Amino acid sequence: MSENIIQLKNISKTFVTDKGEFKALEDINLDISRGSIYGIIGMSGAGKSTLVRCINYLEVPTEGSVVIDGKELGSLTEKGLREERKSIGMIFQHFNLLQQKNVIDNVSFPLRINGVNKKDAHKRAAELLEIVGLADKANSYPVQLSGGQQQRVAIARALAGNPKILLCDEATSALDPQTTKSILELLKNINEKYGITIVIITHQMAVVREICSHVAVISKGHIVENGEVSDVFSRPKTKEARELIMLESGENTWYNESSEDDNCVRIVFTENSAYEPVISNMIKKFNCDVSIYQADTKKINGKTTGEMIIGLPKDEELSRQLKDYLTEKGIIVEEAR
Amino acid sequence: MISAEFMAKLGEGTLATLYMTIFTTIFGYVVGLPCGIVLSLTGKGGLKENKVIYRIFDVIVNLIRSVPFLILIILLMPYTKKIVGQSYGTKATLVPLVVCAAPFIARIVENSLREVDGGVVEAARAMGADTFTIVTKVLLVEAKTSLLDGATLAVGTILGYSAMAGIVGGGGLGDIATRYGYYRFDSGKMWITVVLLVILVNILQAIGINVSKKTDKRRV
């Protein structure tokens, strides 16, 4: 097992507002191993943005400890904490570039505040812009760039201090699907090439599926489920995780309405079973009707995974036999509701 | 009607007005800018939120701002003498002008800095920037346009206040207008002076607005 670069131990965060206390996070435990791309997914308001800010102590947890590469952030002085932050890059949903500075000065910024002279900072910034594919935009201002380009500048800026961790807070949420894809490719590239551990906060399942190796599902301040992406996606154990996955696959009202009378199950096929005509064989074998409400096949980390919502006959004995048959064929079967 | 003597007076007055305005603006910012920074940092949601310090600065600023300028000149007379060695003349007007302008400037600066996107500040914190760096390299830089617009406003207001300097023999165009128009009923000369004042204010405003526009990088 690889070493954990980020360890969150019993993290709780309570905000005190005029209206009383608000528990944003409760008893979060999470280990993130070096070199992984870790997704933290949840609906808005689940506490994921607060959680990612606890990792670099932009938000100081009310309870618990954050250990980065063996160093406990809570034990550091202000100065020590600022030093530690220099090894943790961060990018944001709205890019947060300095609007009054051009691209090269934006990328140089973390170096300049570190005392690097202008010439050396610009040299390094130019290399970084090369990496993110924006070498020709060095003298442009953020306002002249598209969202995707601005995020690339932000990534270059985050990499300037040679961080060991890169935190991404909804980094692709303001971008269109095409641009999202290219930004995710860039992040994956950076992860592979420089071994930087990446933590991705998102509400988009597609983002997690695209590049994450691990995922944690967060709901109402709790981590309800975590593990390898392929496991969590094909066998979500909790209602919250299932909801997120269904929401993503375009789960919509017609399914809920039309299937009310049926005996609905959600089936997930992985690996080879995706290519076998299991359903068709089942229908032939048991000579019964099966309605397909929804079907989708996706590639998760290179493994083909499919999921289907099907309506089985009402006859309990028959439907039990059908479920057994499916299970026998290596398909995961669970109640849709 | 317009004698060479009056023309010379106008020239002198223009210079005195500019002198008072420029020096008051400079000293006003020397005092007001740091106060504005403190106000914005310690205010609600600021980087160094601190109710006590904010309250102290807030009260002082409000107190001075609520004293009419004319009264302020008279109130400060004894102190003016101690500070600049005279309680009469152009130099003497600088003290009440600065005292009046600094809180005004502090408020303008506070508001400008508050407009800076919190996300940019957060990004700088995430990079390990300390508060001093954030103020000098992020807040003041990002608020540049707004600060310049504020300065333009401040210059216009200060120039307006300097017209009251006549009361302590400060001179300037306002003083000339009062003397000829009010004490001598020479409305012709008063109008000439007023027009000159208006032109002066407009030139300064135009320069300010232009500089702020030209240096704003948020425009495509």
Q: Does residue B216 surpass a pLDDT of 90?
A: yes
Check: CB of residue A153 under 8 Å from CB of residue A132: yes
Average pLDDT over residues A244-262: 53
Q: Do B126 and A58 touch (CB under 8 A)?
A: yes
Q: Looking at the predicted structure, is the pLDDT value of residue A259 above 50?
A: no
Q: Do A90 and B123 count as a contact with CB atoms less than 8 A apart?
A: yes
pLDDT in tens, B88-111: 888 888 999 999 999 999 999 999
Cα angle A26, A31, A33 (rounded to 5 degrees) comes to 155
**DSSP class of A65:** E
For residue A72, what pLDDT band results from cuts at 50, 70 and 90?
Answer: very high
- Please tell me if residue B129 touches chain A, with a CB cutoff of 8 Å: yes
Q: Which residues of B touch A105 (CB under 8 A)?
A: none
Interface of A with B in 91-150 (CB under 8 A): 92, 94, 96-102, 109-110, 112-114, 141, 143-144
Interface of B with A in 29-88 (CB under 8 A): none
> Confidence band (pLDDT; 50, 70, 90) for A252?
very low
Q: Is the ipTM of this complex over 0.90?
A: no
Q: What is the mean pLDDT of residues A255-261?
A: 46
Task: Please state the rounded mean pLDDT for residues A47-66.
Answer: 95
Q: Which chain A residue shows the shortest CA-CA distance from B128? A: A82
CA-only gyration radius of chain B, Å: 20
B127, B134, B139, best to mutate vs chain A, most A CBs in 10 Å: B127
A and B: number of Cβ contacts within 8 A: 76
Query: Could you tell me which chain B residue has the CA closest to the CA of A99?
Result: B218
Question: Which tokens go with A153?
Answer: 């500048």
CB contact under 8 A, B119 and A92: yes
pLDDT of residue A311: 82
User: Which chain A positions have a beta carbon within 8 Å of B125's beta carbon?
Assistant: 58, 85
- Binary contact (A100, B120; C-beta < 8 A): no
Find the mean pLDDT for residues B22-39.
97
Residues of B in contact with A113 (CB under 8 A): 124, 127-129, 133, 137
Structure tokens given for B10: 């106008």
**What pLDDT is attached to residue B133?**
96
Strand A303-312, strand A291-300: pairing? antiparallel
- How many Å apart are CA A279 and CA B7, to the nearest integer? 102
Which residue type, as a one-letter code, is found at position A149?
Q
Q: Does B219 touch chain A (CB under 8 A)?
A: yes
Residue A267 scores a pLDDT above 90: no
Give the per-residue pLDDT at A305: 76
How many CA atoms, within 13 angstroms, populate the side-chain half-sphere of residue A258? Answer: 12
pLDDT for the residue numbered A248:
60
Q: How far is B40 from chain A (nearest CA, A)?
A: 19
> How many residues appear in chain A?
337
Token pair of B25, please?
Answer: 């603006």
Instruction: List A residues 155-194 in contact with B (Cβ-Cβ < 8 A).
Output: 157, 161, 167
pLDDT: is A244 or A92 the higher one? A92
Q: Report which DSSP code applies to A34.
A: T
Mean pLDDT of chain A: 88
Beta pairing partners, A270: A305
Residue A275: predicted pLDDT: 63
Answer whether residue A239 shows pLDDT above 80.
Answer: yes
CB pair distance less than 8 Å for B220 and A143: yes
Of A12-21, A223-232, A254-263, B117-126, highest mean pLDDT: B117-126
Q: What is the pLDDT of residue A26?
A: 93
Contacts with A94 from chain B: Cβ below 8 Å: 119
Q: What is the mean pLDDT of residues B52-57?
A: 97
Residue B174 vs residue A112, higher pLDDT: A112
Q: What is the mean pLDDT of chain B?
A: 92
* More confident position, A266 or B45: B45
Q: Is the pLDDT of residue A257 over 50?
A: no
pLDDT bracket for residue B112 (50, 70, 90): very high
pLDDT at A159: 96
- Answer whether B117 touches A (CB < 8 Å): yes
Pairing of strands A37-41, A214-219: parallel
B126 touches chain A (CB under 8 A): yes
Whole-angstrom Cα distance, residue B98 to residue B158?
A: 9
pLDDT above 70: residue B62: yes
Percentage of chain A lying above the pLDDT 90 cut = 61
